[in-house]
Amino acid sequence: MPRCPALFVAAPASGQGKTTVTAALARLHARQGRTVRLFKCGPDFLDPQIHQFASGQPCHTLDLGMCGAADAAWRLAAAATTADLILIEGVMGLFDGQPSGADIARQFGVPVMAVINARAMAQTFGALAHGLATFQPDLPFSGVLANHVGGTGHIELLRASLPPGLRFYGAIPRDAEAALPERHLGLLQAGEITDLGQRLDRIADHLAATGAAELPPPVEFPATPAPVVPPLLADRTLAVARDAAYGFLYPANLDTLRALGAKLEFFSPLAGDALPACDAVWLPGGYPELYAAELATRRELWTALSTHVAADRPVLAECGGMMSLFTQLRDQSGHVHTLGNLLPGEVVMQPRLSALGTQTVTLPEGDFRGHTFHYSKASTSLTPIAHATPFSTRRHGQAGEAIYRQRRLTASYLHLYFPSNPVATARLFLP
């Protein structure tokens, strides 16, 4: 079995700083010449961008619901054969969700370091750490790292509050200049943070003085081969939009398309790129609402896409990709923009989250797993060909996302996870 030092970076809740700590820790070890492979728990497009920047390696998603245990097993095993260190960032709080980050750490035996924001905390730090360490007795809990601390006195107070035997990894001081900027969906995309390297280096320098800088103990990962993917898209060219407006792409999805034999041609609608010569098009999610004014001027691109659809050539438009194809998009300021005009109806940005969670869907091409996360609502005269089903029974009757189809154009808020069914993925992009 492949063995590799590994650490699971968790927290009691969102907003504790685990993304920054994970990325900076990768940065610290990468600066020392180590190959660091990072993984992110839960459906997420933003944190993995930060992690890829920090490590220079693709960051894949681990999610026992959306991706499945088998997918996680082979990816971790593959990483362990080439990496000097594996870091896994949790999602939300350590025990949040069904399945949770703790479920992943426990299943693969990866020790957990919890990051706790101690900015407004004294002895309660010890109580919180004790709870995290003992809530699930079979969890391989390693210790805690204090974030956003004050001076030496504060650090010693936090250390003294811990029960005997619970490791204190150390502390990171408050450093406003190192904080990563955010928006409603989470962190900014890596490409939008011009000084990302300097910010991560500042935190990495702080981490260098803590126990977190030490390599964790090796973890044995069961030898698991990668699944065999038939080359169903051989000799086919797939145009993929990729820029700040269309940046929500799982690296695993791109890998699946390449394994299927597809030739990927990336283009930037924001930069004014023409639609490449292609057999099929993928418009992934992103932030078209932030760049609607610029996208509205790309009439040649929208005309080319309309011609592509009229010729019965496949298009997959997910979330932001779908939003940009409606007749109108109304942004947060109330301004109305005409973008693709390939789908009848209107998309209106909302002040609050409209949908969230892992979902499954059965399409004519096959079954998929995926997730949804958006701040807009769409109204259309189109009749859905299917509705997704929320993975969690705790969604209090929340309806699954609608999937629309016009000719060979498939559109939905749902972000599909292509490795969940590579054969069905190929069928989406075949004539």
Output the DSSP codes for 53-95.
HHHSS--EEE-TTTT-HHHHHHHHHHHHTT-SEEEEE--SSTT
pLDDT of residue 164 exceeding 80: yes
Domain tally, the chain? 2
Task: Identify the pLDDT of residue 194.
Answer: 79
Tokens 């109580």: give the residue. Answer: 127
Tokens of residue 322, six digits:
């779908």
Is 402:372 a contact under the CB 8 Å cutoff?
A: no
Q: What does the alpha-carbon distance between residue 422 and residue 259 come to, in Å, rounded to a whole number? A: 9
Q: What does the alpha-carbon distance between residue 282 and residue 238 come to, in Å, rounded to a whole number? A: 7
Q: With respect to residue 250, please indicate whether it lies within any of the assigned structural domains.
A: yes
Range of the domain at 80: 3-220
Is 242:266 a contact under the CB 8 Å cutoff?
A: yes
pLDDT of residue 348 exceeding 60: yes
Check whether residue 354 and residue 301 sit in a common domain: yes
pLDDT tens digits, 296-338: 999 999 999 999 999 999 999 999 999 999 999 999 888 999 9
Prediction pTM value: 0.94
Task: Tell me the Ramachandran region of residue 368: left when phi exceeds 0, alpha when psi lies from -120 to 50, beta otherwise.
Answer: beta
Tokens of residue 49, six digits:
């961008």
Q: What percent of the chain has a predicted confidence (pLDDT) above 70?
A: 96
Check whether residue 13 and residue 105 sit in a common domain: yes
Check whether residue 163 and residue 49 sit in a common domain: yes
Query: DSSP per residue over 223-273, as a string?
Result: --PPPP---TTTT-EEEEE-BTTB-B--HHHHHHHHHTTPEEEEE-TTTTP
**C-alpha triplet 277, 282, 284: angle, nearest 5°:** 140
pLDDT tens digits, 412-422: 999 999 999 99
Tokens of residue 111, six digits:
């020790």
Out of 157, 188, 220, pick the residue that ends a domain. Answer: 220
What CATH number has the domain bearing residue 145? Answer: 3.40.50.300
Q: With respect to residue 230, please indicate whether it lies within any of the assigned structural domains.
A: no
pLDDT of residue 257 exceeding 70: yes
Q: What does the alpha-carbon distance between residue 314 and residue 327 come to, in Å, rounded to a whole number? A: 20
Check whether residue 307 and residue 169 sit in a common domain: no
Q: With respect to residue 228, please indicate whether it lies within any of the assigned structural domains.
A: no
Check whether residue 173 and residue 249 sit in a common domain: no
Residue 271 neighbours by CB distance under 10 Å: 10
Is 80:221 a contact under the CB 8 Å cutoff?
A: yes
Q: With respect to residue 105, please indicate whether it lies within any of the assigned structural domains.
A: yes
pLDDT tens digits, 385-396: 999 999 865 544
Contacts of 413 (CB under 8 A, 6+ apart): 318, 319, 322, 355, 372, 374, 378, 401, 402
Return the closest-CA partner of residue 212 out of 262, 144, 273: 144
pLDDT of residue 201 exceeding 80: yes
Q: Is 319 a catalytic residue?
A: yes
What CATH number has the domain bearing residue 414? Answer: 3.40.50.880
Task: Identify the pLDDT of residue 398.
Answer: 65
What is the 8-class DSSP label of residue 101?
H
Q: What is the chain's mean pLDDT, rounded?
A: 93
| Across 220-231, average pLDDT | 95
CA Rg, the chain, in Å? 22
| Across 30-51, average pLDDT | 92
Task: Please tell me whether residue 389 adopts helix, strand or coil conformation.
Answer: strand
